Structures are given as structure tokens and as C-alpha cells.
């Protein structure tokens, strides 16, 4: 019995330590993935060798993040701090795909981050918490509850297996079944009912993707079919603070919405791609256009004041394009790329110019 208690204590200690380290490391990675794309874009945009610039940024980050304080969820600290032992930013190529979720895109080039951390544990605190958890586990009926949970899971697995079998049997009845079952969380009986609809069977592959996006955004089957059959279109509804893409209403934050509208307006007026202003000179004329638009539709006063006083800056444009991209990808996934921006470097100034991807689309402003 004593050996069993010791074994439980050791397992609890190990699991607790690994969980604390994994949570702290994940929080750091999430923070870096939120901040790095914006921080690195400006440096990469003005660099001649992007990989060399990524190496420089990597070394600087390792120095800056050598020791990182940890916010502890529990009232007692389990980790004092994290030590970043390795951090490398790399361009993703076909040869080095880097199977990692820590990626983002700069100017059509995927950038990957590899990071390793080491935790400085508060060993006394871990020992105390592990001892307490072991005592509770040992003295309570958790073992019985765990057994009941395992039985319940076994039943769920059986049901899930039966559901998979049912889905497999339906594949011959509907060509769209495989795509729908992999992209939605609908049960087999609902999928069967959907696939039996004649309108669904007539959808093209591209229309099916839009149908799935509409379903995943809680639209009814009929409304999702309407969205799927819409042409490629982009409609702005500034009064209701949203855009309508391919018939799907998407609400955006006010300031990014106005910048999105401004880029769309340039496409409608057949203006050339907009060249980002230089660092030492803001664009006052475009700033006045944007500030008037924001004032008309009750935009944020700070954003209006910044434009009126400081002009339109490249950094402001970059930040708002990134916000537009994040919000559209959250709703549309990979299909968002067709409604984002195309960039190219200006030969004379080495700065980037941007335009909205309007090819083959109807834009209504």
C-alpha cells in the first residue's frame, strides 16, 4: 500500500510539473504568435536579406526573453520563471516544411518559429501540492468515479464507432458526404438528411466550402444554401458595421472596417495600388479622406484624431490590414485569402504597395 501511495505521489508530481511547464510555455508561444507578425513585418519589409533579418531578430529575442516571469493560475507558484533556450525564426520552404502551428505569412512567404524552453520549478511548492492531491485522491472515492468515467467513455467510443460506420455507409449516397463530415461536427443522421437534399447534391466543390462555412457560423440549412449559391461579391454596410462576403454577414471592428472600405473604394475608382508612406513623411491627403469617413459613421475619436494630427502612416495601415486578415480568417478560414490584399515591392522606393484582391469579384460600397 505504501509503495502504491509513493507511486501515485511520483506520478502526480511529474504530471503536475509537466502541466505547469506546458501551460507556461504555451502561454509564451501564444503571446509571441500574437505580437511577432506585427513586430517583424516592418523589419522584413525594409531588409535586403529576409533570412538574415530573421536570424538577427531571433538572436535579439533570445537575449530579451532569456528569463520570462510566469503568471501562475494557482494561488501557489509552481514555476518561478521560464528560460528560453532556443528561438529561431525561419522561412518555410518545400524542403523544410516545419510541422508546427507556430507559423504566419509575410508577403506570401510563410514564416515559422521554433522555440524551446526550460522551467525553473518551485520544487517545495510542487511537493506540497502533489502531497495534497495524493492525499485527496487516496482518501476519496475518485478511483470509483474514474472507473465510472472509463465505462462511460467506453460507451461513448462505441457510439462514436457506430456513428463512423453509419457515415461510411452513407458515402455512396452523397458525393459531398466526406467533405461535410470532415469539416462539420454534425451527427450522421443530420448529414444524411442534408445529403439527400437535391440542392446540396447540385453544389460545386467551391460552393460546398461556402456552404460548410455558413453551417459552421450557425446558419440554417436553407440560409447556408443561399450563401453557397451567391456569386463572389463584397458588400460594405458601414451603418451596421459589417461586410457581406459571398452573401455571408461578417461583423468587423470599426477602425479596420473603415480601412477595408478605403482599399475597396480605391479598387472601385480604378486607382493604382497604394504605396505605403515613408517613415519620415505621413500622407495627409489620404488621412483627411479616412478621417471624414470615420467621422461620418461615428468612428473612434482617437483614430480620427491620430489621422488629423499625424497623417496616415505605413505602420497604421500594416496594423489594420493584419486585423482585417485575422478577423476574416476567423470566419472564412482559407477562403479569406481571396478577399484580402495583394502586395508588391516598389522598385524605386523599396517600399511595399498594396491593393485589395478584387479579381473576378463584385464590390459594392
- Flag whether pLDDT at 169 surpasses 50: no
> What per-residue string of b and e applies to 341-359 under the rule 16 or more CB within 10 Å gives b?
bebeeeeeeeebebbbebe
Q: Which residues contact 180 (CB under 8 A, 6 or more apart)?
A: 174, 186, 191, 194, 195, 208, 212
When the pLDDT of each residue in the chain is averaged and rounded to a whole number, the result is 80
Per residue in 30-60, pLDDT (tens digit) is 777 777 777 777 677 777 777 887 888 878 8
Per residue in 202-244, pLDDT (tens digit) is 888 888 889 889 988 888 888 988 999 999 999 999 999 999 9
Per residue in 247-260, pLDDT (tens digit) is 999 999 999 999 99
Q: H helices of the chain, where?
A: 2-45, 50-64, 123-139, 142-170, 177-183, 188-195, 198-201, 205-216, 221-228, 254-268, 284-296, 301-310, 314-332
Amino acid at each position: 500500500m505504501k509503495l502504491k501511495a509513493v507511486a501515485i505521489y511520483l506520478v502526480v508530481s511529474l504530471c503536475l510539473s509537466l502541466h505547469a511547464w506546458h501551460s507556461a510555455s504555451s502561454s509564451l508561444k501564444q503571446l509571441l504568435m500574437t505580437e511577432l507578425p506585427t513586430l517583424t513585418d516592418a523589419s522584413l519589409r525594409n531588409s535586403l536579406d529576409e533570412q538574415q533579418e530573421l536570424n538577427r531578430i531571433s538572436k535579439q529575442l533570445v537575449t530579451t526573453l532569456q528569463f520570462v516571469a510566469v503568471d501562475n493560475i494557482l494561488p501557489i507558484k509552481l514555476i518561478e520563471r521560464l528560460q528560453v533556450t532556443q528561438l529561431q525564426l525561419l522561412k518555410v520552404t518545400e524542403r523544410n516544411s516545419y510541422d508546427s502551428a507556430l507559423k504566419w505569412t509575410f508577403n506570401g512567404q510563410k514564416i515559422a518559429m521554433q522555440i524551446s524552453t526550460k522551467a525553473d520549478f518551485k520544487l517545495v511548492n510542487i511537493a506540497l501540492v502533489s502531497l495534497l492531491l495524493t492525499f485527496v485522491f487516496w482518501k476519496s472515492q475518485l478511483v470509483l468515479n474514474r472507473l465510472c468515467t472509463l465505462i462511460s467513455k467506453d460507451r461513448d467510443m462505441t457510439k462514436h464507432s457506430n456513428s463512423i460506420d453509419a457515415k461510411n455507409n452513407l458515402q455512396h449516397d452523397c458525393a459531398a458526404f466526406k467533405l461535410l463530415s470532415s469539416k462539420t461536427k454534425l451527427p450522421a443522421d443530420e448529414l444524411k438528411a442534408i445529403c439527400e437534399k437535391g440542392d446540396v447534391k447540385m453544389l460545386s466543390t467551391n460552393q460546398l466550402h461556402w456552404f460548410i462555412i455558413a453551417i459552421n457560423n450557425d446558419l440554417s440549412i436553407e440560409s447556408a444554401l443561399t450563401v453557397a449559391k451567391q456569386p463572389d461579391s463584397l458588400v460594405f454596410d458601414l451603418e451596421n458595421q459589417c461586410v457581406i462576403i459571398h452573401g455571408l454577414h461578417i461583423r468587423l471592428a470599426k477602425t479596420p472596417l473603415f480601412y477595408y472600405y478605403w482599399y475597396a473604394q480605391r479598387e472601385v475608382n480604378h486607382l493604382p495600388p497604394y504605396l505605403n508612406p515613408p517613415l519620415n513623411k505621413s500622407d495627409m491627403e489620404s488621412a483627411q479622406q479616412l478621417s471624414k469617413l470615420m467621422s461620418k459613421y461615428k468612428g473612434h475619436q482617437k483614430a480620427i484624431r491620430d489621422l488629423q494630427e499625424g497623417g496616415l502612416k505605413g505602420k497604421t495601415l500594416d496594423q489594420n490590414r493584419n486585423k482585417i486578415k485575422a478577423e476574416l480568417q476567423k470566419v472564412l478560414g482559407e477562403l479569406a485569402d481571396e478577399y484580402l490584399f495583394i502586395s508588391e515591392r516598389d522598385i524605386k522606393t523599396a517600399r511595399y504597395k498594396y491593393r485589395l484582391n478584387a479579381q473576378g469579384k463584385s464590390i459594392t460600397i
